[in-house]
Amino acid sequence: MNTTAEMQIGGRIKRLRRLRKLTQIDLATALGISGSYLNLIEHNRRKVTVPLLFSIAGYFGVEPGDLVDSDEGRLLGDLMEAFGDEVFADNDVTNLEIRDLAQANPAVARAVLKLYDHYKLVAHADAAPTAPRDAERFHLATDAISDFLQENANHFASLEKAAERIRADIDRTGDSFDFGLRTYLFNAFGIEVRLASLPRGVARQLDPRVNHLLVSDILPAETALFLIAHQLGRLATGREIEAIVAASELPEGDAPALAHNVLSAYFAAALMMPYDPFLRACRDYRYDIERIGRRFGASFEQVCHRMTTLQRKGASGIPLHLVRTDIAGNISKRFSLSGIHIPRHSGACPRWNVYSAFLSPERINIQLSQMPDGQRYFCIARTIAKGDHRYNAPRRYMSIGLGCSIHHAKEMIYSDGVDLAGDSQLVPIGVGCRICPRMECGQRAHPPSDHQFRLDDNVRPESLYARMG
């Protein structure tokens, strides 16, 4: 068991125990171990054996993997990124001290991250004084939503149940899903769906005067279908969504409204790609995204998103990570269950295949990635083009990255013919230049925040930041 996993387990057990309002003696007695031994485990001074891991997981009614794959690894990565900022260059904060903060005081660590988020926003506002006054608040909301999805493992059981119930009613029509969805929307809410020529930039519009849902007639078919399902989600799952938002710790402002939109989208995906059939297709087709998309009438991006939500207890999919970036390197979506850390603020490593995918548009790009801590990941990436179905319509190009721990790689069809055990195809990657220790990397854009230059006039290394001698 690696050091990061050990760090995660102790804090996770402690939080579960406190949530149940148990003393260490209570839990230790139930597990058949001494209170002092449990205390050492919670402080990560003793390793957890596999039998004990399963006993603890069974006691709390969670999957054993949930104890290991908690959010503390992501918290640690976010802290490393924050303390790698130049503003902390004179503080001499060590990686060990950052680990101690994440492990012993996760609430304080999250408060530090929140403060750093505000600092970054103020710094950006100073750099761009003409930005709208509400831009800062909205940016905070988008980060809060990313954290919200991560904390919930991007899985919402109540919305899955609602989608299964409504999908069963839709399927009883005996016709296509598209027809059944429109019929259900009309029968349940009196809303008639019509394709229409809408103003540029408007994809969907509900006209309450005549109860018409107008959908742009220049959208791809899967996008139009998703928008209809999204509207149904807003109408049919208000109670479930309100309960989820109320139970969250989202900040005031734009975040709750944005959460309603995101959760309606979650319902739409669950309705289009029902959990059990979708999971079965993932296993049968070995996560062949394009084949699964054909099966459910969904786009490449929609299928990738849906794959990250398969976290039902006892029927879960591969723990995946997903990142979406544009050609300028701006990360617009990030989520990780694989354990890989995706930067919160700075740009990601240029060696990630999510960037090199732009060199081979709409082709699957495969990469075996190794992080500085030695963890290996199997990653695929592909570009997508977004735009309207009309002559001379502008196109937006983005790249979708999806991946898992190397241990799950064989479950994906893209690993066929790839030497997963060898080192020859490994690509060393990092989180971001400010905290990456790979000094010899020829693609470094910035030195680490604590770097001191030692230049030799007689030798010019490939990387200006490489350590000499």
Residue 326 in any domain: the answer is: yes
Residue 183 and residue 247 share a domain: yes
pLDDT at 454: 67
Say yes or no to pLDDT of 61 above 50.
yes
Domain count within the chain: 5
Residue 306 in any domain: the answer is: no
pLDDT in tens, 245-297: 999 989 888 899 999 999 999 999 999 999 999 999 999 999 999 999 999 99
Give the three-state DSSP class for 311.
strand
Residue 421 and residue 396 share a domain: yes
Residue 444 and residue 396 share a domain: no
What pTM did the predictor assign?
A: 0.79
pLDDT at 346: 61
Task: Write the Ramachandran bin of 212: left for phi over 0, alpha for psi from -120 to 50, otherwise beta.
Answer: beta
Residue 398 and residue 321 share a domain: yes
Residue 223 in any domain: the answer is: yes
pLDDT in tens, 307-328: 999 999 889 999 999 999 999 8
pLDDT at 75: 79
Q: Name every residue whose Cβ is closer than 8 Å to that of residue 98 and which is 6 or more positions away in sequence.
A: 76, 79, 80, 83
Residue 153 and residue 250 share a domain: yes
85 pLDDT tier (thresholds 50, 70, 90): confident
pLDDT in tens, 156-168: 999 999 999 999 9
- Partners of 365 in the β-ladder: 381
Which range is least confidently modeled, 38-47, 162-171, 203-212, 272-281? 38-47
pLDDT at 57: 84
Say yes or no to pLDDT of 353 above 80.
yes
Question: Across the chain, what does the average pLDDT equal?
Answer: 86
C-alpha–C-alpha distance, residues 37 and 51, integer Å:
15
Instruction: Decide the pairing of beta strands 315-316 and 331-336.
Output: unpaired
468 pLDDT tier (thresholds 50, 70, 90): low
pLDDT at 385: 93
Q: What is the CA radius of gyration of the chain?
A: 24
Residue 291 in any domain: the answer is: no
Residue 424 and residue 354 share a domain: yes
pLDDT in tens, 17-28: 887 788 999 999
pLDDT at 348: 75
Say yes or no to pLDDT of 469 above 70.
no
Residue 446 and residue 321 share a domain: no
Backbone angles phi, psi at 210, to 5 degrees: -120, 5
Residue 111 in any domain: the answer is: yes
Tokens of 118: 């505000």
Say yes or no to pLDDT of 388 above 70.
yes
pLDDT at 368: 97
Say yes or no to pLDDT of 179 above 80.
yes
Residue 331 in any domain: the answer is: yes
pLDDT at 450: 57
pLDDT at 461: 64
Say yes or no to pLDDT of 1 above 50.
no
Residue 418 and residue 369 share a domain: yes
Say yes or no to pLDDT of 449 above 90.
no
- Partners of 205 in the β-ladder: 214
Residue 277 in any domain: the answer is: no
Residue 120 and residue 216 share a domain: no
> Averaged over 199-205, what is the pLDDT?
92
Domain that holds residue 268: 135-272
Tokens of 406: 């190397």
Q: Name every residue whose Cβ is closer than 8 Å to that of residue 24 and which is 6 or more positions away in sequence.
A: 17, 35, 38, 39, 42
DSSP 430: -
pLDDT at 135: 40
Residue 345 and residue 226 share a domain: no
Residue 278 in any domain: the answer is: no
Residue 62 and residue 127 share a domain: no
Residue 43 and residue 18 share a domain: yes
The CATH number assigned to the domain holding 30 equals 1.10.260.40
User: What's the order of all strands across the beta sheet hosting 192-196?
Assistant: 192-196, 212-216, 204-207
| Proportion of the chain above pLDDT 70, given as a percent | 86
- Judged on CB neighbours under 10 Å (0-12, 13-18, 19+), 233 is buried
